[in-house]
Amino acid sequence: MSDFIAQLREIYPSERLYEDDARITPYVSDGLTVFRAKPAAVVMPVCNDEVVKTLALCHAHDIPFVARGSGTSLSGGSMPIEEGLVISLNQLNQILELDPDNRTARVQPGVINTGISVAAASHGLYFAPDPSSQTVCTIGGNLAFNSGGAHCLKYGMTSNHILGIKVALPDGEVVELGNDSLENTGPDCVGLFVGSEGLMGIALEIQVRLLPKPESYRTILASYDSLETAGDAVATVVASGILPGAMEIMDALAIEAAEAAVSAGYPDDAAALLLVELDGEAAAVEAEFAALTSAIETTGAKEVRAAQDENERMLIWKGRKSAFSAVGRLSPDYIVQDGVVPRSKLGEALKAISELSADAGLRVANVFHAGDGNLHPLILFDAKQPDGLEKAEALAGKILRLCLRLGGSITGEHGVGVEKLKYMPDMFSDTDLEAFRRIRRSIDTKEISNRGKMLPGKEAPALSDLGPHPLEKAGIISRM
C-alpha cells in the first residue's frame, strides 16, 4: 500500500489527494449512512489522463476503487471499499459540447443533472431524467444507477437518454461505447454499462440526448381517504388511454413532512395524494386534461385540484421532490427502499405495506412513482434504540420480498449497492447470477471496480472458461 500511495502522490498534488482522517471522513458513506467503510485515500482528478493513470495504478497494485459523484446513492452503491481508493469525479464537471441542431450534449461525469437543462434552456431543450436529488446528483451517478425520476413514466430512465460513453476500463484502457446516433447497431454495450453500478469502469465523457421543452403543462392534485384507493386510481388513469408525463403518490406522513418543509399547500385531511401531470403541445394537453379530469372524478377522490399557474405547479412539485429529506423532520432516522410492483398490484402492495408496518410497530411514509409502480417506502426508526436498525432492515426486507411475490423487482432506480445484496438470489437464479459475474470478470479481471457491490459474493469462473473478451469484437467499440 505504501508504494501505491507514493505513486498516487506523483499523479496528484496534496490538495487533491486526501490521506488524513479529517478529509477522508466525509467520504466514508454515501446517502445510506448506516453503511460505512474507510478508504485508504481519496483522489480528485481534473482530467481524463489522471483517471486513466489512477486506474492503471489500481490494476497494477490490485487496489479496489469506487468512483464517486455527489454521494447521493441510497443503496450504499458509492460507499468506499475498506482500504481501497475513492475517485471523486466532482471536478470533472464541464459541458464539453452542446449541439442544439442534433439535440445532444457531451458532458463530463461530474456535471450536475439540472446543469444540463440549464445549459440547454436557451435552445428550448432539456435533459429529461429528473430524480428527486437532481439539483445535487451528477450525471455519472445517474448513469451508474440508471436513475429515473417523477417523469420516467413517459420519458423513460437515464438509459433512454444516453447515446455514447467514453469509458476508462478497470485496467486503465479507454474505449468508446455507442455514438451520437439513436440508430446504433450490434450489441448494446451502452445499455450494458448504464446501470452496472460502477462494476465496469468509469465514464469519462457521456453523450446525452436532449428533448424539446414541452409547450404546455397541466398538473392535477387529487386527495383520497385511503392509500389503497389512491393506488387503484392509477390503474383507472392508465386504462383511460392517457399517458401522463408523471404520476406520483404521497401518503399522510409524507404529506405532513412536505408541508412542514415547504408549505406546498397540500390538503391537511388527506390520507393520500395523487399527482398527475400532462405535458406536450398545448392543444393536445388541453384535450387530455379534460379526459383526465373525468377519469379521476370516477376514482372516489375527495378533492380534485388543478394548478392554476406555473408557480403553483412548481410548488406542488417542490413538495414532492422535498419529501425524502423532509421526512427527517418526523424521525431521527429512516431508510428508504425502491421496490417495484406491477401497476395493477399497487393497491394490494400498499395495503400489505400498511399491515407490515403495523406488525413491525414502525411508521412507514410512502412516496412513489405510481406510473411505473416504483415504490419508495421510507421506514422511520430510531437508531439509538437497541434493535432500531435491525427492525427497520427486517421490515425493508419483507417489503422487497412482497414486491417479488407480486411480480416486481427489488429495485427501480436506487440500485442494489450493498444494501440489497442478500435479496439478489431471491430475484435471480444461480445461473443468472453466474452469468452476471462472468460478464463482469470478462471486463474487470481482478474485480477491483466497486468491489463488493451489486453482485453477491461467489467464486467466479476461471478466466479460461470465459471465451473471447466481449469488447474485442469488431465494430462494438473503438480502442483509444
Beta carbons of 135 and 113 less than 8 angstroms apart = yes
381: containing domain: 331-420
What are the φ/ψ torsions at residue 316 (nearest 5 degrees)?
-60, -45
Q: Last residue of some domain: 420, 438, 458?
A: 420
Q: Are residues 388 and 377 in the same domain?
A: yes
Q: Last residue of some domain: 189, 213, 237?
A: 213
Q: Are residues 99 and 193 in the same domain?
A: yes
Strand order through the sheet with 104-107: 95-99, 104-107, 202-209, 162-168, 174-178, 477-479
Q: Are residues 318 and 221 in the same domain?
A: yes
Q: Are residues 114 and 187 in the same domain?
A: yes
Q: Are residues 137 and 207 in the same domain?
A: yes
Residue environment code for 385-407, b if the CB has 16+ CB neighbours within 10 A, otherwise e: eeebbebbbebbbbbbebbbebe
Q: Last residue of some domain: 166, 195, 213?
A: 213
CATH number, position 397: 3.30.70.2740
What are the φ/ψ torsions at residue 427 (nearest 5 degrees)?
-100, -30
CATH number, position 245: 3.30.70.2190
What is the rounded CA–CA span in Å between residue 92 and residue 398?
40
pLDDT computed for residue 464 by the predictor: 35
Q: Is 136 exposed, middle or buried (0-12, 13-18, 19+ CB in 10 A)?
A: middle
Is 103 within the bounds of a domain? yes
Q: Alpha carbon of 215 to those of 32, 218, 354, 410: distances in Å?
A: 38, 11, 40, 36
CATH number, position 187: 3.30.465.10
pLDDT computed for residue 458 by the predictor: 59
Q: Are residues 287 and 390 in the same domain?
A: no
Q: Are residues 193 and 270 in the same domain?
A: no
Q: Are residues 311 and 337 in the same domain?
A: no
Please tell me the total count of domains within the chain: 4
Is 15 within the bounds of a domain? yes
Per-residue pLDDT in tens (0 to 9) along the chain, 480 residues: 889 999 999 999 999 999 999 999 999 999 988 889 999 999 999 999 999 999 999 999 999 999 999 999 999 999 999 999 999 999 999 999 999 999 999 999 999 999 999 999 999 999 999 998 999 999 999 999 999 988 999 999 999 999 999 999 999 999 999 987 767 777 899 999 999 999 999 999 999 999 999 999 999 999 999 988 998 899 899 899 999 999 999 999 999 999 988 999 999 899 999 999 999 999 999 999 999 999 999 999 999 999 999 999 999 999 998 888 888 888 999 999 999 999 888 889 988 999 999 999 999 999 989 888 999 999 999 989 989 999 999 999 999 999 999 999 999 999 999 999 999 999 999 999 999 999 999 999 999 999 999 999 854 333 334 344 444 443 443 334
